[in-house]
Amino acid sequence: MDIGVPSVRNLFKIKRERALLWMAIGVTSIPLHLLYNSAVYTSLAANDFLITIVTNNHFEKGSYTNTTIAIGNFRDLSPNAATGKKYGEIGYQADLPEIQLFSSILEGYNVSTEIYKDLKPLECAKAYNTDFVSNNRNLFLITKNSSNATHNNTILDMIRINSNGTAPTSWMCTDSDPSGLKSAWCDTNKPVANLTSGLPWRMNFSTAGVVDIAGCKSEITDEKCKVEFSLEIMIVVICCNLVKACCMITAVVRSQEPTLVTLGDAVDSFLRAPDPTTKGMCFADREFIKGEWKHEWKTRPRKWKKKGLQRWWTSVGRTRWVTCYFFCLLNIFYLAGFLATSIQSDRQIWSMDLKSMWTRGLGKVNGVSILASLNPSNVTLAILLSNIPQTTLSFLYLIYNSLFTCMLSGHEWSLFGHHHRTLRIPYTYAIPLMTLSGLLHWLTSQSIFFARVDISDPFGRDTLEPINAVGYSCIAIIFALLLGILALISAVGMGYRQFASEITTAGSFSAAISAACHTSEVEPEEILGRKVRWGDVGIMSDLGVRHLTFSSEEGVGKPVIGEVYAGIGRGGSDCL
């Protein structure tokens, strides 16, 4: 059996009740990793809004205003709830205060309201240079043009901006053509940069043509956000935690026998009750246990040959190394491919350098970094898709942790051959490993995450098309990749460290540990609770050959090169 590390092999050798408890705890962990992270989530709010391009005398008394140009975008949003009449129809009367206010400003009558604020071009560009506008709404762009023979109407153009559309900030670009076909390829940060440098804000609209923006009048709204939870997910989470709690209580109540959790536990147990099946194999290592002893081959006396100090990686089985690196590299390649695809997609809209990636933030929802192809209408499906990496990462952490546990157990084992010490397991690496796991989980949650945005129409009414999607952050993916690669390099570097002394490589094999615990002391109980050391305890009077084992005496030495060591063989066989 394996001691001190997670092992599926152990399930076939323990009581059925304990195996079922282990399986119940393991199975209920999968839904938790998939759902728990998003059982409670925040919902952002975004405003659709109307942009009306007007001349610089639109808000002056006596100016000629014809609202006909506004009907195409405005009338479908303004029906009266009682009569059904739309803006521009005979007998129309707005029944929503926001619509009434917008109508009066559109018609040039109400220009002193406190809800609409006058902004300078730079302030306006900064306020609306975001994919999800949350504390501003309808916007009047005031041009430098006057209503004259060329522009005989103060209203030059009107467009509607949808927050769930592609590149909702592209209207700000100076290089957009009137049709808007090239608008998704522009850099929306240029207007802010140009205005900061003192350059004009020039825009191109289908009706108004090329105009210079002199100022803005923006509707100020309260920013809204909500904390929500999914009832279905919460029920699953509660049930899984309830099962786990019952399993742990059952394990505490019914499992009264001593447990072998650490290497020290195993050594202490075998010193108290030596295992007769491993007697006579005083320097058996994990390879011997897997080969000769497992096939019940006869043992014989052997010479101690100088192998030099072994590396830490020798205490880990080949299967565990291959499994760990296979899944680690698989996830790294997946993230790298995802990052390459994201950069290729975002390059059409953003300047893809580290500065722009950092500006977009870690785990920040925006209109670009959303997987439109995975835009499910079901919240649970979006949560499952965004949390799959958390599940695979938890599985990888178990493998990675067991890898380090095997190496550290081998290091602890070698220290017994170097000097007298107590039976304990070092926890020096526990905090760094837990920190690594927590940091990777957090970076993964910021790399690929659940994105929920509630959309309001230009007059504050909730729409029926919220955004439930999987979002991503390129800069967070880069950090997660770097940390994952660092973790792999660290594992290789730790594996090349040398053990403290020449000693058998027992690994986590219980039989190899047992073989080294047949003490030579007359009263084995005397060794318990004292510092012990593994090594040469001299010639055994009843055997006539030297013996390697644990002892609390001071005369324990290192194995002698070329010396034959033995014990009593299994079933009357020769000594090892």
Q: Which pLDDT does position 247 carry in this prediction?
A: 92
Q: Which pLDDT does position 239 carry in this prediction?
A: 93
Phi then psi for residue 457, to 5 deg, are -75, 175
Which two structure tokens, joined as six digits, stand for 536? Answer: 């040469």
Q: What is the mean pLDDT of residues 450-463?
A: 84
Written as one letter, the residue type at 9 is: R
Give residues with Cβ within 8 angstroms of 296, minimum separation 6. Answer: 570
pLDDT per position as a tens digit, 142-200: 888 776 655 578 888 888 888 776 667 778 875 544 444 444 456 677 788 888 888 88
Q: Which pLDDT does position 24 carry in this prediction?
A: 92
Q: Which among 72-76, 109-113, 213-217 has the top mean pLDDT?
A: 213-217
Which two structure tokens, joined as six digits, stand for 556? Answer: 């324990």
Alpha carbon distance, N-terminus to C-terminus of the chain? 22
Rounded Cα distance between 555 and 519, Å, is 14
pTM over 0.75: no
Q: What is the mean pLDDT of residues 379-403?
A: 80
pLDDT per position as a tens digit, 59-68: 887 777 778 7
Contacts by 541-545 with C-beta closer than 8 Å and gap 24+?
543/567, 543/568, 543/575, 545/301, 545/575
Q: Which pLDDT does position 139 carry in this prediction?
A: 92
Rounded Cα distance between 228 and 45, Å, is 13
